[in-house]
Amino acid sequence: MKSYRKELVFNIPARRGLTNITHEVQQAVDESGVMEGLVLVNPMHITASVFINDDEAGLHHDFEVWLEKIAPEKPHSQYRHNGFEDNADAHIKRSVMGRESVVAITRGRLDLGTWERIFYYEFDGKRDKRVLIKVIGE
């Protein structure tokens, strides 16, 4: 069985941002040489998420509005964690959106549905963050 590891680095200039990383994940699969297997994609930070959904601007806006209702960034004083940092909302948003995604690889291609894309969602940006891509298979 083959195993391949790659890290992506992001520095989202705003506190929050959504990035389609499907191409970068497929590129890692290509580099791995794996034709049949799985790829795990996960942020290596507890204030970011990797998830699969549609690449549609209206939906992305809806995620942002919905998440801000669930865990509003401000006032910072509403969160006990913010006595240490000001990113408690980012931790909660990550818990809601999930940590990682696993995608099947078939004939060397990501086995995604018609509209499925892989996204990195940053909730506490303005600094370097890493995303792990781990490919395993034959």
88-118 confidence digits (pLDDT tens): 999 999 999 999 999 999 999 999 999 999 9
pLDDT at 85: 86
Distance of alpha carbon 53 from alpha carbon 85, whole angstroms? 30
pTM reported for the whole predicted model: 0.96
pLDDT at 95: 97
pLDDT at 84: 79
Average pLDDT score over the chain: 97
Residue range 27-52: mean pLDDT, rounded: 98
Distance of alpha carbon 4 from alpha carbon 39, whole angstroms? 9
- DSSP for 61-129, please give it: HHHHHHHHHHS-S--GGG-GGGGT-S-HHHHHHHHHH-S-EEEEEETTEE---TTEEEEEEESS-SS-E
Say yes or no to pLDDT of 83 above 90.
no
Q: What is the CATH number of domain 2-137?
A: 2.60.120.460
Say yes or no to pLDDT of 47 above 90.
yes
Strand order in the sheet with 17-20: 17-20, 116-122, 48-54
Given CA atoms 32, 36, 37, 39 in this order, what sign does their dihedral have? positive
Which neighbouring-strand residues pair with 117? 53
